[in-house]
Each structure stands twice: as C-alpha cells, then as structure tokens.
C-alpha cells in the first residue's frame, strides 16, 4: 500500500484575455473548479497506476472539502485519515490564465495548514501497513519531518518530492530513499543553478552527499536524471506534443511509486512514471489528465 501524506486543494480557474493589474477589473471567459493539490494529485496518479493508496490530509468544513474527499474515493483511495478542519476553508488555488498561457496564482493553505504531527500519529496503523510513503511540501514542515522520520524508522520506502521549492532541514535527507525534485527545486536545494544535464548532475550529486539513497531530477522534456552511489544515468522523456504540462511531475511520482511498490526495479519505475507523465501532458488539467493503468500498456 502507498501512503500519501499531503495537500488537497480546489483549483478555481478563470480564463481571461489578459491578466488584470492592481485595481483593474477584466472580464473572464470561463470558470472551472478542478480538484488538485500535489498530495491529492500524486495519490490519484498512484491509484490510477494500479496501486492501493491511502491518504492523510485535512480539508476545510466547506462544500469543496466534501467534493475533494469524494473525488479521491471515486479513485478508490482510502480517505479515512482525510479529516475536516472545522471553521477553515479547504485549500484553494485561485488561478488566472490568459491567452498567452501566462498565469497568476494565489494559494490559500486552508485545511492543509491545520494538519499536525498528532494526525500522523493517529494514522499510525496506515503508516505501519504501507510499504511506500510519499510526501511533498504543501503541508506544514513539522508534519512532513515527523512523517519522514517515522516511516524511515519503520523501514518503509520513503519518497520526498520537495515541492514547492523550499530549503529542507539537514536531518531530513537521511530519512529519504528517493528525493525527486524538478530542476527549479534541485537548484534551490543544492544552491547551484540548474539549466542542463551537466548542471543537474552537479546539483543531484551535492544533494546525494547529504544522505538520500537516490536523487531523481525531473528535467521536463529532457526526461529524468538518476544519481546514486553507482553514478549518474539519464532516461530520455517520451516524445509527445505537450498540451498542458500541469501535474506532469505529480503523474511521474504517483506512477513511479506504484511501479516500485509492486516490485518493479528503479529503471522500470522511472519508465512507467515517464509514460504516465507523457500521457498526462497531452490532456488538460491536473487530476482529470492523470492516466489509468490500462492506458499505459
């Protein structure tokens, strides 16, 4: 079983010809509420990739919270440990997108910010039962640190996607088996610019020295760079016509975790993750774009 401890957000997406400046009002052309949040996206990606998945998180006591839980349950995800933070809104992303695909986004943590280490302890049964833990950084840092430490102590396979980019406490690295940043996140964590495969390898090697078992840097259309004690290996991405790259990283991580959990080796899991990401970017949106196992051959 894969346990995802992380965020659930409702994305409120408005399309407009041009983004408004301060004090300005413009007409929107369309509006959609779409379930998202990195934690929920990765949980859905793993479930659709064929894994048994449970999630620990917090939604608000509003209608969106119920919708977010129901969406995960429709994908067969165990949501018993997705609680309701009374008096708070659900996590929200207010997203404006213009005709040039430029966007401006305001994120409100809402219920996600109310997740505490005590909620992780209350879900000890799930932590004990899982084989793989997946975390990101959209819930409070104290929660993520506690989850990584507990899972590592229990001998679980620990995956950390350090997104959105933020410096990590030094102690965390040794608790992580697979650290999976994108180029921006790798650059911020390692403190060196990342613009190509060579600089990604330098950043990943610096991160590996801090203690994780492996570092996988996702390089967008350039694929994935794996760095471990044996050296570096590059896996090219599938050649596809990208339409909407939202949640490419989430698709990769969920499917990678699913393949690893059913016993695939790391190269197979990377290949599977890249297949899922390639399909996801040919479709619009975050969760609606995530592919099912039957589509992935």
Residue 219 Cβ, how far from ligand ADP at the closest point, in Å?
Answer: 6
Our CB check for ligand ADP shows the closer of 62 and 138 to be: 138
Q: Which among 83, 16, 88, 31 has a CA at the least distance from the CA of 55?
A: 83
Our CB check for ligand ADP shows the closer of 64 and 272 to be: 272
In this structure, the dihedral spanned by the alpha carbons of residues 218, 41, 167 and 126, taken in order and rounded to 10 degrees, is -120
Our CB check for ligand ADP shows the closer of 79 and 136 to be: 136
Residue 101 Cβ, how far from ligand ADP at the closest point, in Å?
Answer: 14
Residue among 121, 250, 265, 284 flagged as catalytic:
250
Question: How many CB atoms are closer than 10 A to CB 111?
Answer: 31
250 catalytic? Reply is yes
106: which 2 tokens? Answer: 């305001």
Residue 236 Cβ, how far from ligand ADP at the closest point, in Å?
Answer: 9
The runs of H, that is alpha helices, within the chain are 38-48, 63-74, 117-122, 124-129, 141-153, 183-190, 197-208, 248-261, 266-280
Our CB check for ligand ADP shows the closer of 7 and 274 to be: 274
List residues near ligand ADP by CB under 6 A: 182, 218-221, 223-224, 237-238, 240, 242, 245, 248-249, 252, 274, 277-278, 281
Phi, psi of 157 (to 5 degrees): -80, 120
Residue 256 Cβ, how far from ligand ADP at the closest point, in Å?
Answer: 10
DSSP 182: B
Residue 39 and residue 5: Cα distance in Å, rounded?
A: 7
Q: Which residues are catalytic?
A: 250
């Amino acid at each position: 079983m894969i346990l995802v401890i992380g965020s659930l957000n409702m994305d409120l997406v408005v399309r407009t010809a041009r983004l408004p400046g301060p004090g300005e009002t413009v007409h929107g052309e369309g509006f959609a509420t779409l379930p998202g949040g990195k934690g929920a996206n990765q949980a859905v990606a793993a479930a659709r990739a064929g894994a048994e998945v449970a999630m620990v998180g917090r939604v608000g006591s509003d209608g969106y919270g119920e919708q977010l839980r129901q969406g995960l349950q429709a994908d067969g995800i165990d949501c018993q440990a997705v609680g309701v933070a009374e008096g708070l809104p659900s996590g929200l992303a207010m997203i404006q997108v213009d005709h040039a695909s430029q966007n401006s986004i305001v994120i409100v943590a809402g219920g996600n910010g109310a997740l505490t280490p005590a909620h992780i302890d209350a879900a000890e049964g799930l932590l004990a039962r899982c084989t793989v833990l997946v975390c990101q950084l959209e819930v409070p840092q104290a929660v993520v640190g506690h989850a990584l430490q507990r899972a590592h102590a229990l001998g679980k396979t620990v995956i950390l996607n350090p997104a959105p980019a933020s410096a990590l406490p030094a102690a965390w690295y040794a608790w992580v088996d697979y650290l999976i940043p994108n180029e921006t996140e790798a650059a911020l964590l390692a403190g060196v610019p990342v613009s190509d495969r060579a600089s990604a390898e330098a950043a990943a090697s610096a991160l590996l020295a801090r203690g994780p078992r492996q570092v996988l840097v996702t390089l967008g259309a350039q694929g994935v760079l794996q760095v471990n004690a044996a050296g570096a290996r590059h896996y090219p991405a599938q050649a596809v016509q990208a339409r909407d790259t939202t949640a490419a990283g989430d698709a990769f991580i969920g499917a990678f975790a699913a393949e690893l959990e059913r016993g695939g080796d790391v190269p197979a899991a990377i290949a599977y993750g890249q297949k899922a990401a390639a399909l996801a970017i040919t479709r619009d949106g975050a969760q609606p774009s995530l592919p099912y196992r039957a589509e992935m051959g």
